[in-house]
Amino acid sequence: MSLNKNMRSTIFKNISAALDAQGSKAAREQHASARINARVRGPIPNRGQKTGAALVDEFISEVIRVNGEIINLKSVAEIPAAVMTAAGQNAPHIRIAPHPILNAANWPAGPAEINSGPADPDDDVGVSIAEMGVGETGTLVLLSGPGSPVTINFLPDVHIVVLFSEDIVPTYEDAWDRIRKDNSGVSVMPRTVNWITGPSRTADIEQSILLGAHGPRRLVILLIDGKKTHTPD
Amino acid sequence: MSHKKANLFTYDHPTCHNFSANAHEALLDKNLQTQLSRITREGFQQKRFDAIHRLDEGEFDLLRDRAQEIKTDALANLDVYLERFEQNVTAAGGKVHWAASANDAREIILKICQDANAKTVTKGKSMVSEEIGLNQYLEQNGMRPVETDLGEYILQLRDEPPSHIIAPAFHLAKSEVEDVFRRHHGDLDPARDISQPAQLLNEARQVLRGDFISADVGITGANMLVAETGTALIVTNEGNGDLTQSLPPVHIALSSIEKIVPTLEDASTLLRVLARSATGQDVTVYTTFFTGPARPADLDGPKEFHLVLLDNGRSKTLGSEFSEALRCIRCGACMNHCPVFGSVGGHAYGWVYPGPIGSVLTPLMVGIDEAHTLPDASTLCGRCQAVCPVRIPLPELLRRHRVKSFTAGKAGWLTRVGLRLWSFVASRPKLYHAIASFKVRAWKIISGKRGYISYVPFIGGWTNTRDMPSPQGKTFMDLWKQKNK
């Protein structure tokens, strides 16, 4: 679209006019490349620097502070029963992410209908697997992909998320490092990286805080002791 | 049927020139005053304070220093970061559109919607979309834009602009929300109870579900643009922004060129100050980083991704004496702490961006002819600068606008004559001293034993509600001379 090209060049001409007085564009390019490659961290608050058991404790207390729920599990075998308990009696439609761990789980035959795939509007409960948790603020990190459809995180009334304790990292920057490493050092992002901190809320009416706006009314974390293991299909 | 007040602005009809009258009306609006009082008492001010004190001593200031440095660096290298961003969005399968003006942005977005044969367009909250009057334009061209943020949805039904950049409907009482829901949700049971906020929220949630599912295009804003990866991000609490960008087949993100940051680390630092400064949360419920359209193996997400980048004067501001305003991350802390905003609310400012940052941006966007009143709507007390997470020197920028509008002849005759008189006297020390000592003696005599004066000519607006304390009868210069004798 030539219109787009013209506007682009007008905008960039104005920007150069402002910046060229301070130095050349080549110098700016060099600076920008160096800065992006260095990926220097800003100041990390002390609460984002915990390790070991203190890190897991911090994650749990931060989740509870923002009205999330935590259920501790010993192994993946306990997932189906915990999901059924958390979902309660009034959840006829349960949606699970097509992730190897959930696919391999031993789901009960009823009474709830359990489907795998992206969410649809009838789903009462969605179950997904978190890539990581961040201790600093009790934040879950979910990456979209074939095993993690993003609609499950937002459409159902109740969102149940499986998280392994060894996937809890101290701070956001640690999460970025791991996402980059999983992509062989190159910053290739999935379509979405979702940070989720508690159930949805709003304060748009008279500044009073209400839980359960358009997203899930409840966020339940199934915290499994140990390391994420991919059960073979 | 529109129930909005007749004097409310639209994006192309600002009412900044009427600031005085707008403010007067706002001061007499009892309901507005009730809502405004919540900001200080249990609202934004207290929540920000608590959030900062959940960090260790001094940490928030270190984060602010770094946040300022990040935005300064991003602006000082704006073109190369934007180019890098564009390359990475394109590599991820998205398309970047450049919009020089508000009208350009509207046309680009309409074209994308038309190409998608769109009827219903869901929208996440976006101040840039308010800046370009997107809803009106889409409606005029046969689309049905649906605001999905609760506050924005209420305002869309009332046909009203936002009064705050992060809490758009904070000026309304719950009874007013009930009112507009009853008028517009006519097919629901008239006997239902929706007197409480939770019931109102539930109703909006039910009504909007259908639109989320059936929308052909979803439009969101973007709080930041990350050059390193071509990623944009939104921060929300309701989840509407995510439903808007994951259910329809086309996602358009509308943002502006100064929102760029170099890396994901830099974005993380800014996020640490953004929510704390805005709502007093450590982090919002949802922070969503999105890069391009759905990948081939993804089971959901949009097939098409467009990022529309608006300039609308920002590239000109970059080289001007107002460039520091471009650091703004739109947290709203300056308005939450402004005594003027706290007294008159957002609509009185007469355009999209209210409060101290609005008084700096609006003259740059709608022109000084319309908006020269706004830089005067400040006592320059400096609270805005004190709370700004990127340390924008707002009082100094307001003062620069005042100089410009005075030079351009926008000040009234009283101000002009007064200032000329004052500068004549102030540059003649003997005359100044003579007048000053006459004045303090005269005021002392007039006030007599009461010790105050209840009316002073020319500042009646001030003495109507306060008494002027009387001077002690001698000037500082007199006392100084006495002491040195």
- The residues near B373 (Cβ < 8 Å, ≥ 6 apart) are B16, B17, B18, B19, B20
* Cα distances (angstroms) measured from residue B402 to each of B363, B411, B458: 11, 9, 21
Q: Note whether B288 and B245 are within 8 A (CB).
A: yes
Averaged pLDDT of chain B:
93
Q: Considering only residues 83 to 102 of chain B, which have any Cβ-Cβ distance to chain A shorter than 8 Å? A: 84, 92, 97-100
pLDDT computed for residue B457 by the predictor: 72
Domain boundaries, chain A: 2-38, 48-224
pLDDT at B464 over 80: no
What ipTM was estimated for this complex?
A: 0.95
CA angle A207, B241, A117 (to 5 degrees): 130
Q: Given CB atoms, is A191 within the 8 Å cutoff of chain B?
A: yes
pLDDT computed for residue A106 by the predictor: 93
Which H or E run includes B333?
helix B333-336
Q: Give, as one character, the DSSP assignment of residue B469.
A: E
Q: Note whether A84 and A108 are within 8 A (CB).
A: yes
Consecutive 10-residue averages of pLDDT for chain A (233 residues)? 77 96 94 95 96 97 97 96 93 95 92 94 96 98 97 97 97 94 64 97 89 94 89 42
Q: Considering only residues 99 to 118 of chain B, which have any Cβ-Cβ distance to chain A shorter than 8 Å? A: 99-100, 104, 108
More confident call, A135 vs B415? A135
Contact state of A172 with B271 under an 8 Å Cβ cutoff: yes
Q: What are phi and psi of B434, to 5 degrees?
A: -60, -45
Question: What whole-number distance in Å separates Cα of residue B226 and Cα of residue B74?
Answer: 10
pLDDT computed for residue A180 by the predictor: 84
pLDDT computed for residue A232 by the predictor: 40
Nearest to A43 by CA among A131, A171, A185: A171
pLDDT computed for residue B438 by the predictor: 86
Residues in B touching A155 (Cβ below 8 Å): 243, 247
**pLDDT tier, B117 (very low <50, low <70, confident <90, very high otherwise):** very high
Q: Is 3.40.50.10420 the CATH number for B16-314? A: yes
- What is the percent of chain B with per-residue pLDDT over 70, rounded to a whole number? 99
First to last CA, chain A: 48
Q: Considering only residues 172 to 231 of chain B, which have any Cβ-Cβ distance to chain A shorter than 8 Å? A: 172-174, 177, 197-198, 200-201, 205, 208-209, 212-213, 227-231
More confident call, B28 vs B413? B28
Amino acid at A183: N
B262: nearest CB among A8, A35, A121 = A35
Q: What is the mean pLDDT of residues B252-271?
A: 98
pLDDT at B4 over 60: no
* Angle between helical axes of B197-214 and B150-158 (0-180°, round to 10): 90
Q: What is the mean pLDDT of residues B375-391?
A: 96
More confident call, A123 vs B457? A123
To the nearest whole Å, the CA of B38 is away from the closest chain A CA by: 8
- What is the percent of chain B with per-residue pLDDT over 90, rounded to a whole number? 82
Residues in A touching B261 (Cβ below 8 Å): none
pLDDT computed for residue B450 by the predictor: 77
pLDDT computed for residue B441 by the predictor: 83
Q: Note whether B146 and B122 are within 8 A (CB).
A: yes
> Strands A125-129 and A158-164: what pairing?
parallel
Name B286's bridge partners.
A196, B236
A210: nearest CB among B197, B282, B285 = B197
Number of Cβ within a 10 Å radius of residue A69: 16
pLDDT computed for residue B6 by the predictor: 61
Q: Note whether B170 and B163 are within 8 A (CB).
A: yes
A150: nearest CB among B172, B246, B266 = B246
Amino acid at B192: R
- The residues near B223 (Cβ < 8 Å, ≥ 6 apart) are B233, B234, B235, B259, B274, B329, B330
Q: What is the mean pLDDT of residues B284-304?
A: 97
Q: Is 3.40.50.10420 the CATH number for A48-224? A: yes
**pLDDT tier, B198 (very low <50, low <70, confident <90, very high otherwise):** very high
List the single residue in B with minimal CA-CA distance to A116: B299
Most confident of A190-199, B2-11, B415-424: A190-199
Q: Considering only residues 294 to 313 of chain B, which have any Cβ-Cβ distance to chain A shorter than 8 Å? A: 294-295, 297-301, 311
Complete DSSP assignment for A125-148? EEEEE-SEEETTTTEEEEE-BTTB
* Angle between helical axes of B394-407 and B355-366 (0-180°, round to 10): 40
Complete DSSP assignment for B304-315? EEEEEEE-TTHH
pLDDT computed for residue A183 by the predictor: 57
Complete DSSP assignment for chain A? -HHHHHHHHHHHHHHHHHHTTTS-HHHHHHHHHHHHHH----PPPGGG---HHHHHHHHHHHHHHTT-EEEEESSGGGHHHHHHHHH-SS--EEEE---HHHHHS----SSSEEEESS--TT-SEEEEE-SEEETTTTEEEEE-BTTB-GGGGTSSSEEEEEEEGGGEESSHHHHHHHHHHHTTTS-PPPSEEEEE-SS-EE-TTTT--EE-SSS-SEEEEEEESS-------
Q: What are phi and psi of A141, to 5 degrees?
A: -115, 115
Q: What is the mean pLDDT of residues B360-370?
A: 96
Q: Given CB atoms, is A177 within the 8 Å cutoff of chain B?
A: no
pLDDT computed for residue B468 by the predictor: 79
CA B139 from chain centre, in angstroms, equals 25
pLDDT computed for residue B437 by the predictor: 85
Residues in A touching B228 (Cβ below 8 Å): 36, 39, 187
Question: Residue B442, SS3?
Answer: helix
Question: Residue B218, SS3?
Answer: strand
**pLDDT tier, B465 (very low <50, low <70, confident <90, very high otherwise):** confident
Number of Cβ within a 10 Å radius of residue B249: 16
pLDDT at B50 over 50: yes
B76: nearest CB among A10, A22, A193 = A22
pLDDT in tens, B147-184: 999 999 999 999 999 999 999 999 999 999 999 999 99
Question: What whole-number distance in Å separates Cα of residue B385 and Cα of residue B381?
Answer: 9
First to last CA, chain B: 78
Q: What is the mean pLDDT of residues B43-65?
A: 96
Domain boundaries, chain B: 16-314, 414-483
**pLDDT tier, B84 (very low <50, low <70, confident <90, very high otherwise):** very high
Contact state of A205 with B172 under an 8 Å Cβ cutoff: yes
Q: What is the mean pLDDT of residues B110-127?
A: 97
pLDDT at B449 over 90: no
